[in-house]
């Protein structure tokens, strides 16, 4: 599912900011980046069986931490985006289960069983790869989920991202080149 390192050309691609390397990332940033994944697990546990609190918690965490650094922004965004599909799937499962329970026209049929299976696999996959990503973030490493990793990278490291980060504020100095 994952690609461990971004392709070489993206590292020198002028359309993207250079990636921070592990020795450049302070311990505090690494912990905040890891927190994006681990905090969500606690929220998931507290929100069962209503899968909504985890999403709210992830959104809050993302908005509170995203401006601290690109590294934190990337990991918290990846965590937020990657839990959207599982959250929607879990909502669907909950709705379907309620309808099967309460309505005679909804049946516990093979489609429902298949959906349960697919949702369980999706949740397990999400949990496993989120844990891996959390440990990678703690080590100051990038870790790219399929789709969500590339999307987050594109949104955070693209030069079109105009967000001003705490550590980069000094770089955007008042002195401007003459041309």
Tokens matching residue 113: 């069983």
Question: Based on CB atoms, which residue is closest to other proteins, 121 or 159?
Answer: 121
Largest CA distance in the chain: 75
Q: According to the binding rule CB under 8 A, does residue 151 interact with other proteins?
A: yes
Contacts of other proteins in 85-144 (CB under 8 A) = 85, 100, 104, 107-108, 110-111, 113-115, 117-118, 121-122
User: 167-176: buried (b, 16+ CB within 10 Å) or exposed (e) per residue?
Assistant: eeeeeeeeee
151: CB partners within 8 A, 6+ apart: 81
Say if CB 2 and CB 145 are below 8 A apart.
yes
Smallest distance from other proteins to CB 5, Å: 14
Question: Based on CB atoms, which residue is closest to other proteins, 65 or 79?
Answer: 79
Smallest distance from other proteins to CB 86, Å: 10
Smallest distance from other proteins to CB 165, Å: 22
Q: Which of 41-49, 57-65, 67-75, 146-154 is the region at the interface with other proteins (rule: CB under 8 A)?
A: 146-154
> Hunting for tokens 């590294």 — which residue is that?
71
- Helix spans in 25-69 (H): 27-47, 53-65
Q: What SS3 string covers 115-160? A: HHHHHHHHHHHHHHHHHHHHHHHHCCCCCECCCHHHHHHHHHHECC
Smallest distance from other proteins to CB 46, Å: 26
Smallest distance from other proteins to CB 81, Å: 11
Residues in touch with other proteins (CB under 8 A): 7, 9, 85, 100, 104, 107-108, 110-111, 113-115, 117-118, 121-122, 146-147, 150-151, 154
């Amino acid at each position: 599912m994952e690609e461990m390192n971004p392709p070489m050309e993206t590292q020198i691609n002028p359309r993207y900011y250079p990636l921070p390397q592990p020795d450049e990332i302070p311990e505090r940033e690494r912990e905040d980046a890891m927190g994006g994944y681990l905090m969500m697990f606690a929220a998931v546990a507290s929100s069962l069986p209503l899968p909504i609190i985890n999403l709210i918690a992830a959104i809050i965490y993302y908005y509170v931490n995203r401006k601290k650094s690109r590294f934190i922004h990337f990991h918290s965004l990846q965590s937020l985006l990657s839990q959207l599909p599982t959250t929607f799937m879990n909502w669907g499962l909950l709705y379907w289960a309620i309808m099967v329970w309460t309505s005679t026209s909804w049946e516990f049929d093979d489609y429902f069983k298949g959906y349960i299976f697919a949702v369980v696999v999706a949740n397990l996959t999400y949990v496993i790869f989120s844990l891996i990503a959390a440990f990678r973030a703690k080590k100051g490493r990038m870790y790219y989920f399929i789709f969500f990793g590339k999307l987050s990278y594109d949104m955070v490291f693209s030069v079109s991202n105009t967000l001003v980060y705490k550590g980069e504020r000094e770089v955007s100095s008042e002195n401007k080149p003459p041309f």
